[in-house]
Structure 1
Amino acid sequence: MKKASKRLVTISDVAQSAGVSKATAARVLGSYGTASPDAKEKVRDAAKKLGYQANELARSMTTGRSKTIGVVVGDIENQYFGQAVRGISDAARAAGFDVILANSGENAAKEKTAVRVLLGKRVDGLIVTPASVFETQHLHDIQRSGRPLVLLDRTVPGLDVDAVVTDDRHAAEAATKTLIDAGHRRISYITATESEDPIYRGPHQISLSTVMERIEGVMAAGRAAGIEQPERYIRLGAGRGGMGDKIIADLLQQTQRPTAILASDNVVALEVFKTLRRLGMSIPGDLSLIAFHDADWTSVTSPPITVIAQPAYDLGFESAQILIRRITGTGDVASRRVLATKLITRQSVAAPPKL
């Protein structure tokens, strides 16, 4: 015999148990309107005794707010985004908001689906890390709807909404200059950003604002140092279907191979580290390495890796604070907030080998 499911406790049940009207119970449980102290105490005691759970969807239809924010990030397994989400959660909780998290996997179609689902759940606003600067109609639709939107870590040209980012171009330029000052002229930038062709041929291949800004920084530092074709060693798609090892190995086995690598994130940096070990090469004897993001492992390897520390937690925390100000109607005009990064020097950079 099939066991009957337990019926959810309703406001009517609470009102009957407390000996008050349904309207009074609704006002107390919904925290709106007025009720006597005695009625409030009776309703709350009854709700606790019966195990009442608020219907958040019904509440949002009554109040116009769900007290939730939707978040869509590129890769939740990446420690960088994990820290950002922690910052969002802490800021949201402090303001009385819940967070619904979705992962796009750096796929624009999945991002669109996630945004549609979150809007269907009546979130009060969204924080999104855009997966593409080319497929952004859904983000423009959010803006036109009047629902608050904050972009995290990346921007979208032509989309006039709040964004919280880091100084990617300056950071990449400073890191490249560090390598140039150590004597390097053949410097590679390797990124996981999707591309069918791993060789960089122009901005049309780049779907992320952060990647383009970093490439611009690498090339600006190279040109300032008189390096011809500084884009020659830029490689894309190192995170696509396990292609990282092959792309890195092909690059390092060239006759005129790079003597230094700037890795776009800690995942790519770890792939570089593993490929070098497989090829019997050492850091920094055979190759110098700098990585974006100060992941835990970068400080305990031998040698420890020089990194560009990014304020991931602060990015998330500030994004949530800005969004909540928008939701509550206290925000100013849309702005682009740029947080500083810091180059942490360790032992993975040395003079280039004599090839």
Structure 2
Amino acid sequence: MVIPDVGNHFFAVAMRGISTAAREAGYEVLLSSTEGDLTLERRAVELLAGKRVDGIVVAPVSTEETEHLERLEGQGIAVTLLDRPAPNVKAASFISVNHVEASTLAVNHLIDLGHQDIGIVSEALMPAGWEPDAPQEARNLRPSAARLVGYVNALRGAGIRYRDEYVARSAYAKAAAYEATRRLLRDNPQLTAVYCTDSELSAGAFAALQDLKISCPKDMSLIGFDDQDWATLVRPPTDGC
């Protein structure tokens, strides 16, 4: 199993499930964490292939620079892509949720509550030349980009104009999301809701709301993709935000 961050909650939970399923089938799992570095990913995959593993589960760093994964088929090694696509790895299985549709559902929930000015905290840029309702292209996007597309699709579907200034771009870290959320709300005081594209960013955004003395959900609605244990401990519970 080759993943970008062993400390990430999503990958940690996935690793637990994969390890359990493999063990029940008579296999064991070797783990490599690449820290999101493509060079480290290549090295890990080549090392595992050299050890003649039966299969590799990988969340690829890049959707395009995947020659090291494409070679595995010729070596008789099965490949499963976890959460992140790699279109050129033709023989691989791909396990993921529909990030565009799920994101659209999340933003539609805010729209149904009456929100028109909805900010988003995301690490992604809007894909160049993207056209709405393009499912084939959506399958080739990284999760963060696909979730941003879902946000845009929800706004367009409701007749709400997309505003680039409502997009707070953040590195994938709680501290970065905290600062991005503060900037977003400072520059756009008219916002009544914020959508975060994953749980790490949601934690930073929620902390920013607390420090700014903005009550959630009284003053600001907050919705985040994914879930973490901390989300069940806040008051009011997250189903109220």
What TM bracket, shorter-length normalisation? 0.7 to 0.9
Alignment correspondent of 2:132: none
CA contact (8 A) 2:5 2:36 kept: yes
SS at match of 2:200: helix
Q: Distance in 1 between matches of 2:84 and 2:206?
A: 27
Partner of 1:72 in structure 2?
Answer: 2
Residue of structure 2 in register with 1:117 after alignment: 47
Q: Which residue of 2 aligns with 1:210?
A: 143
Structure with greater Cα Rg: 1
Deviation of the 1:99 alpha carbon? 0.4
Q: In the alignment, is residue 164 of structure 1 matched against residue 95 of structure 2?
A: yes
* Cα displacement (A) at 1:257: 4.7
- 1:164-243 equivalences in 2 (<5 Å): 164-192=95-123, 200=125, 202-203=127-128, 209-239=142-172, 242-243=175-176
**Count of residue correspondences:** 230
Q: Distance in 2 between matches of 1:110 and 1:94?
A: 29
* SS, match of residue 100 in structure 1: coil
Cα deviations by residue, 1:293-332 (Å, 9 ceiling, x for unpaired): 2211111101222xxxxxxxxxxxxxxxxxxxxxxxxxxx
Q: CA deviation at 1:142?
A: 2.0
Q: Distance in 2 between matches of 1:111 and 1:236?
A: 25
The change in CA–CA distance for 1:244 and 1:255 in structure 2 (over 3 A counts) is closer
More displaced, 139-148 or 213-222?
Answer: 139-148
Cα RMSD, aligned residues only: 2.2
Which of structure 1's runs of 4+ aligned residues deviate more than 6 A? none
What SS does the aligned partner of 1:222 have?
Answer: helix
Distance 1:91 1:78 in 2: 20
Alpha-carbon deviation of 1:231?
4.8
Could you report, residue by residue, the CA deviation over 1:250-309 in whole angstroms, capped at 9, with x for unpaired residues? 11101455321221221111111111112221211222111122211111101222xxxx
Match of 2:20 among 68, 90, 106: 90
Retained in 2: the 8 A contact 1:187–1:260?
yes
Name the aligned partner's letter for residue 85 of structure 2.
T
C-alpha deviation, 1:102, in angstroms: 0.9
Which residue of the partner structure matches residue 254 of structure 1? 187
Which of 261, 264, 269 is the equivalent residue of 2:197?
A: 264
1:190·1:238 contact (CA, 8 Å) conserved in 2?
Answer: no
* In structure 2, C-alpha distance between the alignment counterparts of 1:229 and 1:116, rounded to whole Å: 43
Q: Distance in 2 between matches of 1:237 and 1:112?
A: 26
Q: Gaps (5+ residues) in structure 2?
A: 130-139
Which residue of structure 1 lines up, in the alignment, with residue 82 of structure 2?
A: 152
Task: Give per-residue Cα distances to partners, 1:234-258, cap 9 Å, x unaligned.
Answer: 3333326943222221111014553
Contact 2:192 2:219 (8 Å CA) reproduced: yes
Q: Matches of 1:271 and 1:191 in 2, distance apart? A: 12
Q: Quick one: which amino acid aligns to residue 304 of structure 1?
A: P
From the superposition, tell whether residues 82 and 126 of structure 1 become closer, same or farther in structure 2 (CA, over 3 Å).
same
Change (3 A) 1:239 1:212: closer
Structure with more relative contact order (C-alpha pairs < 8 Å, separation 6 or more) = 1
- Name the counterpart of 2:240: 347
TM-score between the two structures when normalised by the length of structure 2: 0.86
Distance 2:9 2:36 in 1: 15
1:131–1:208 Cα contact (<8 Å) kept: no
Contact 2:63 2:84 in 1 (8 A): no
What TM-score do the two structures reach when normalised by structure 1?
A: 0.60
Tell me the secondary structure at the aligned position of residue 253 of structure 1: helix
Any stretches of 5+ residues in structure 1 without a counterpart?
A: 1-70, 194-199, 306-345, 349-355
Identity %, equivalent residues: 33
Equivalent position of 2:178 in the other structure: 245
Cα distance 1:181–1:113, how it changes in 2: closer, same or farther (>3 A)? same
Residue 201 of structure 1, CA deviation: 5.2
Contact 2:195/2:223, CA 8 A, preserved across alignment: yes
1:170 counterpart letter in structure 2: E
Q: Which amino acid aligns with 1:165?
A: S
